[in-house]
A and B are shown apart, each in its own frame.
Chain A
């Protein structure tokens, strides 16, 4: 089993990310996305699901409560191997996943308000829970995001 410290140290792509200035395109990171997560209740969900289907190893769609998805799919996968995940959800869901995933060494790597191509996301500031952006503090806000293993 990987240790959390190993996870922190294995953030290969994150070494590259830390050298990037905020705002640089996320596509430069070349992360393997283990999963794409889409809230089916959101407008543009179908389009984002198709995009994630192409760009991640697995697509997971939920409607409303993200708890079951976390409990039965995402957390067991992170326990086996913490890898980057992407999402198109409400900001509240991002808040939950960001907080839960930090226990597995993942942090917010990139995000953009609304539906966005993954190669257009801004690299996030290395903040713990970056809710200071008012757009992300509003639970109604829709956001595209990536959580990835952090550099040790």
Chain B
């Protein structure tokens, strides 16, 4: 039997759980070791160590009213709750609470698709609705709308949006939080609120117009702990007539400056609608000793790198993206892309796939790059380990955000390569991805293991990556639960004034501190350092 949450006696804990059983029934209050183990962080960088975070129990309501009642009981007992939607974002901590001993508020049973409006191109869902669920619903009902799925697609629309996850399709959809329109939230007091136009009970535009009247407060419910989101609306992409996926390469290391500038320009003028990635087939190649030496050197010259690129016979940079729309529009977009990038000597254009929609089930299954077409998959797990690499049990996402400029991409490759090398590790492959309209995130994978020694090294690596990239102005925008204090610490303007504002909000909205204590380093007053 797991221990009670910190600050509660066994008797208080038992009484609180008994009250929760009265609300949702015994079947949905989980407190055996086996049940609670389901909420363990499968990729924990602290696996098996004393500091690993555990749930003390879990509860799984099915209605909004049950959530309200649970929150009220939590206030009464000062029972820490940790809401999850599907809890499957393993690289950011999965379903394990930040504040060890919290009771997981598992919302997976709240899995109703409440509305899909094909004319308005919107949906309204509960937190347990996964990308798989929504995709299946659209296909089964022959609705010609696309979701923008996270990759892998086993997560949920609401959880991924609230953690500010990203996808691959059009700019209006792939920033998942930006693509939401309207929320319903159970506040830490148990009160129910709706945001935007949903604050008016008769409004017909809850999923169409974000702001309503007064301050737009939806943002404070992302990456935070100010309430339990029980409904969210999303904009869905109209299925295009066609799509063309392309790959473009440029040969020399110094080409990256013009390459990224032009791609950014083509995204800004909406010629390129999709997520656009920039990676180096040379620097991300198989780890031969010379490549490792160059990657870990912290800054070999263009000439040295170009000689190496010649020796492995690879172009230095590549980009992949998709053009969506009417076929004749795509043809014009593609011609314009080639005109603009054709200025770079040695550029090579490839059309890697073309589709006309709708796809049959078999055609959809045959799409290799499914997420770029709103098709959820588990493809990503087929590449958990590169051939010959030491198997790891998981990884942490490390994705600093940079300006979309070649010099910053090179600078980041050089810095992270040097840090890996100084710790005796082979550098991760890195991919610059333009999920967002104006910035590029640079994805790296830091491996996690099931043994403490390897995990200690991974944690040291992760901490150095975060802090040293931040010193160069390359902040991360999202971070695994264990490192959230570190992550917030780099947002340090005016002696961390933003963090103090978060705490002020926490004290006002959740005075008993019952929701997701510690999430993104927002702690309730009674749990802050130095508090009694």
Contacts and interface: CB of A to CB of B under 8 A. Distances in A.
- Report which residue of B38, B135, B153 has the largest number of chain A beta carbons within 10 angstroms of its beta carbon: B38
B292 to A, nearest CB: 21
Given A128-B40, A132-B393, 18 more contacts: A3-B27, A3-B28, A4-B27, A64-B379, A64-B382, A65-B378, A71-B135, A72-B361, A95-B384, A102-B38, A128-B38, A131-B393, A137-B391, A137-B393, A138-B385, A139-B384, A139-B385, A139-B391
Interface of B: 26-28, 32, 34-35, 37-38, 40, 42, 60, 88, 108, 132, 135-136, 152-154, 361, 364-365, 370, 376-379, 381-385, 387, 391-393, 450
Given A71-B135, A96-B154, A99-B42, A65 B27 contact: no
Contacts of A120: none
Interface string A54-86: 000000000011111011100100000000000
A23 interface: no
B358 to A, nearest CB: 16
Interface in A1-50: 3-6, 8
A117 interface: no
B378 A5 contact: no
Interface in A103-147: 103, 126, 128-129, 131-132, 134, 137-140
Contacts of B382: 64-65, 90, 92-93, 139
A140 B390 CA distance: 12
B246 to A, nearest CB: 22
Contact of B383 (A71, A72, A137, A139): A139
Overall SS of chain B's interface? loop
B62 to A, nearest CB: 11
- Report which residue of B60, B153, B376, B384 has the largest number of chain A beta carbons within 10 angstroms of its beta carbon: B384
A64 B382 CA distance: 8
Nearest to B36: A128
A128 B32 CA distance: 13
A130 to B, nearest CB: 10
Q: How large is the interface on A (under 10, 10 to 19, 20 to 34, 35 or more residues)?
A: 35 or more
Nearest to B39: A128
Contacts, number: 88
Contact of A92 (B38, B153, B370, B381): B381
A65 B377 contact: yes
A140 B42 contact: no
B179 to A, nearest CB: 21
Contacts of A68: 361, 364-365, 377
A51 to B, nearest CB: 24
Nearest to B94: A99
A5 B24 CA distance: 13
A5 B40 CA distance: 19
B383 A75 contact: no
A92 B384 contact: yes
A10 to B, nearest CB: 12
A150 B38 CA distance: 12
28 contacts: A3-B27, A4-B27, A5-B28, A6-B27, A8-B35, A64-B382, A65-B382, A67-B132, A67-B154, A68-B377, A72-B136, A75-B132, A90-B382, A92-B381, A92-B384, A96-B152, A96-B154, A96-B381, A99-B88, A128-B37, A128-B42, A129-B42, A131-B393, A132-B393, A137-B393, A139-B381, A139-B385, A140-B385
- Report which residue of A67, A93, A132, A150 has the largest number of chain B beta carbons within 10 angstroms of its beta carbon: A67
